[in-house]
Amino acid sequence: MTLAWPLSVPVLTDGVVTLRAHVRADVDAMLEMAQDPEMVRWTSVPEEQTRAGTEEFAFAVIPKGWDQGTNRCWAIEADGGYVGNVDVRGMPIADIGFALHPSARGRGLMVRAVRLATDWAFTHGGVEIVHWRAHVGNVASLRVAHRTGFTLHGITPGILHERGQVIDAWTASRRFGDAPLPDVPWAEATALETERLRLRPLRDDDTPRIVEACSDPASRQWLRNLPHPYTTESAREFLHDVSWREARGTKITWAVADRADDQLLGTVALMKLHSPTDAEVGYWMHPDARGRGIMTEAVRAVVQHAFDPAGLDRHRVSLHAAATNAASNGVAVAAGFRLVGTETAAEQLGDGTFDDLNTYEVLRP
């Protein structure tokens, strides 16, 4: 005998979160969540969700999905109340979706909920693989996918269709038998401070300064792959790429900011982190921050973090600079790097010419 909703909804718990069928007492919190700006920004929820629309979703759409076996959607409960939804759609190939009430974010609750839902899908739901998709830039969702063991694939063009628009998406998947844990650590931009500087994660409000720096003629000469013209959308794409590379554990990028006013002065990054012993440093500066020794100070802090056993615990850090880029070579020398070689005509510049490429290194003391 097949049970109808809500009796068909299995109750799952790990002792902190519980997945269960939706009840009437959830509606107020569901409506608040649907009207939250972040929810509207990153999902296909109606831009002006109503109470009637919320009730229809909870007590018509969700029950139909369970009864037909096409969409298994649970309410997430924590601390005795509703905090969000998680749903697994389809079988044996499934998609996962999830949303959390603003008051419940930042506590790891969705990681627990996704593990419960995917484990049930694999063991009882007839699912062989679960796919995750999110708008490019939805870092909160990316963190959940990363922490729950999804293999991150990249950007799939035009895979989402929401509110009449075709949207690119970050994609990942988890197969039956995959561990519900990250395959590589997230490369966090740990906050670092020096006498004048604060090295911190990049933020959306850094965008105007990024556009200014990357539109500068000197920046364009030494960083030839910068888009032209460099727009606000270019800066957003850069920020999205920073988050994705950190999730893949291959690159950490810090904003170099003034300790006094937190204004962005440039960026410094550690790259090629797939090596367990080495890293490569790279950087650029905003025009109004040049000539003050700021990047030397930032590079020293990042190299110290790279060597610190409590940081990245690396043995060697390298640095490359075009031979005629006096400022970049000056940073390398002032930060304690040693020139170890020069490749002839190995670096193409923004004006199309080729320059020699200097290679520097510094070893862990």
Q: What is the mean pLDDT of residues 72-97?
A: 97
Long-range Cβ pairs for the range 227-235 (8 Å, 24+): 232/207, 232/208, 235/206, 235/207, 235/210, 235/211
**What's the pLDDT tens digit per position in 114-161?**
999 999 999 999 999 999 999 999 999 999 999 999 999 999 999 999
pLDDT at 142: 98
| CATH code assigned to 12-175 | 3.40.630.30
**163 touches 43 (CB < 8 A):** no
Which pLDDT band, with edges at 50, 70 and 90, does 88 fall under? very high
Q: Going by DSSP bridges, is the β-strand pair 354-363/316-322 parallel, antiparallel, or unpaired?
A: antiparallel
Q: What is the mean pLDDT of residues 329-348?
A: 98
State percent of the chain over pLDDT 70.
100
**What's the pLDDT tens digit per position in 43-81?**
999 888 999 999 999 999 999 999 999 999 999 999 999
Q: What is the mean pLDDT of residues 257-277?
A: 96
Cα Rg of the chain (Å, integer): 24
**What's the pLDDT tens digit per position in 11-38?**
999 999 999 999 999 999 999 999 999 9
Secondary structure class of 109 (helix, strand, coil): helix
> In sequence order, what are the residues at sequence separation of 6 or more whose Cβ sits closer than 8 angstroms to the Cβ of residue 188?
246, 252
Q: What is the DSSP-derived secondary structure letter of residue 365?
A: -
**259 touches 206 (CB < 8 A):** no
**What's the pLDDT tens digit per position in 150-170?**
999 999 999 999 888 999 999
pLDDT at 163: 86
Which residue is associated with the tokens 């989402």? 160
Query: Cα-flanking dihedrals φ and ψ of residue 160, to 5°?
Result: -110, 145
Domain 192-363 is of which CATH architecture? 3-Layer(aba) Sandwich (3.40)
Amino acid at 161: H
Instruction: Please give the Cα distance from 249 to 199 (Å, whole number).
Output: 19
pLDDT at 47: 87
Q: Is the pLDDT of residue 268 over 80?
A: yes
Cite the residue boundaries of each domain of the chain with CATH code 3.40.630.30. 12-175, 192-363
| Cis check: omega of the bond before 63, within 30 degrees of 0 | no
Instruction: Please give the Cα distance from 98 to 320 (Å, whole number).
Output: 43
Q: Is the pLDDT of residue 301 over 90?
A: yes
Q: Is the pLDDT of residue 1 over 70?
A: no
